[in-house]
């Protein structure tokens, strides 16, 4: 009998998750009931939000419970089915969890077409990160043609798409990323108008240089000091989208909030949080538009893929070390 390898949450971390936060276990795959089908998970998505799901505190989604499979979105193939809506051979996306197989009744799952895009892309540009970027910049950020846009975490899964959408909409786009290589990637490959290297540049002076008239839209993925500095350069009626705060997720001290918040008053600006699940009814429309942009060569998708469910912890930490570019994906299937 084929066994399932699963990553279970064993401890709630304090600060950066250690290897014993999770445990790799082998379990038997349960028999299918009526209405259920079996998915062989091929790739799972690794996202900064997963760090927040480890903490037992109020959030937009309940935390992962101890001894449960680690929550993760993933794509895979239906290998057995007692559900008439899903057939053997179908490729599907859903909350697979960090494991190699899952039995599901199909709630929250939808079919994807591997002939239109590689499966890993459905965890990124055509998945939750892409949807986050699309609705975050267009709906929450209320993007307008000609806006001056700043994106932090700009070489990541969400930020890289945000910046490209803003360029498609004829905006000036500056990205913040870590290291010369990533900054050159933003400019040379993704078409950003400029980049700020937070590891080596003086961020305050670079913001002044790139935004002499102020920032119209700031899409924030990192929080902390960079958010505070962006607040000091706002244009009149600026919009700030709070998507994430990766610089704060592994804090062992209280989260650092913005001290320059009075800039919101002076600039009559807004700062609004966004969670992608609020836009679920419009995912299909967004996916079609993103797919069209890719066909037209206007939108580039990059997946940084690692292999082996045994390497979950090591790969997960790349989210916080910066040792990845684009969408971080873990191949969990064993071919």
Q: Which residues contact 205 (CB under 8 A, 6 or more apart)?
A: none
8 A C-beta contact, residue 70 and residue 95: no
Q: Which residues contact 102 (CB under 8 A, 6 or more apart)?
A: 38, 39, 41, 76, 96
Q: Report pTM.
A: 0.92
Please give the Cα distance from 108 to 86 (Å, whole number): 13
Alpha helices in 39-149 (DSSP H): 49-52, 128-135
- What the chain holds in terms of domains, given with CATH numbers, is 3-124+302-331 (3.90.180.10), 128-277 (3.40.50.720)
Alpha helices in 278-329 (DSSP H): 283-295, 312-316, 318-321
Residue indicated by tokens 């290291």: 179
- What does residue 175 show for φ and ψ, rounded to 5 degrees? -110, 150
Q: Which of 43, 34, 42, 28 is nearest to 85 (CA)?
A: 34
- The per-residue pLDDT string of the chain (335 residues; one tens digit each, 9 = 90 and over) reads 589 999 999 999 999 999 999 999 999 999 999 999 999 999 999 999 999 999 998 888 899 999 999 999 999 999 999 999 999 999 999 999 999 999 999 999 999 999 989 999 999 999 999 999 999 999 999 999 999 999 999 999 999 999 999 999 999 999 999 999 999 999 999 999 999 999 999 999 999 999 999 999 999 999 999 999 999 999 999 999 999 988 887 877 787 888 999 999 999 999 999 999 999 999 989 999 999 999 999 999 999 999 999 999 999 999 999 889 899 999 999 97
Nearest 5 degrees, angle CA 319-CA 323-CA 327?
A: 55
């Amino acid at each position: 009998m084929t066994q399932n390898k699963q990553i279970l949450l064993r401890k709630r971390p304090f600060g950066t998750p250690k290897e014993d936060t999770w445990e790799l276990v082998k379990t038997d795959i349960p028999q299918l009931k009526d209405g259920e089908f079996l998915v062989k998970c091929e790739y799972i998505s690794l996202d900064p939000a997963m760090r927040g799901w480890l903490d037992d505190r109020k959030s937009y989604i309940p935390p992962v419970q101890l001894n449960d499979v680690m929550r993760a979105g993933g794509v895979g193939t239906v290998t057995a089915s007692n559900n008439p809506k899903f057939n053997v051979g179908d490729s599907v996306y859903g909350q697979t969890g960090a494991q190699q197989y899952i039995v599901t009744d199909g709630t929250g799952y939808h079919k994807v077409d591997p002939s239109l895009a590689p499966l890993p892309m459905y965890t990124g540009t055509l998945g939750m990160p892409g949807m986050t970027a699309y609705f975050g910049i267009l709906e929450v950020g209320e993007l307008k043609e000609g806006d001056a846009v700043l994106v932090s975490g700009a070489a990541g899964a969400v930020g890289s798409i945000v910046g490209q959408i803003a360029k498609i909409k004829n905006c000036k786009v500056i990205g913040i990323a870590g290291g010369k290589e990533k900054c050159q990637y933003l400019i040379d490959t993704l078409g950003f108008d400029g980049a700020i290297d937070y590891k080596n540049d003086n961020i305050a002076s670079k913001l002044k240089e790139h935004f002499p008239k102020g920032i119209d839209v700031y899409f924030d993925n990192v929080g902390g000091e960079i958010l505070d500095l962006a607040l000091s350069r706002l244009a009149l009626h600026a919009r700030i989208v709070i998507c994430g705060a990766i610089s704060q997720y592994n804090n062992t001290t209280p989260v650092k909030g913005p001290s320059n918040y009075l800039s919101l008053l002076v600039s009559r600006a807004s700062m609004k949080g966004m969670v992608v699940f609020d836009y679920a009814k419009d995912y299909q429309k967004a996916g079609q538009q993103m797919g069209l942009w890719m066909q037209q060569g206007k939108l580039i998708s990059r997946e940084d893929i690692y292999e082996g469910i045994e390497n979950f912890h090591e790969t997960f930490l790349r989210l916080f070390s910066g040792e990845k570019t684009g969408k971080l994906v873990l191949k969990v299937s064993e071919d």
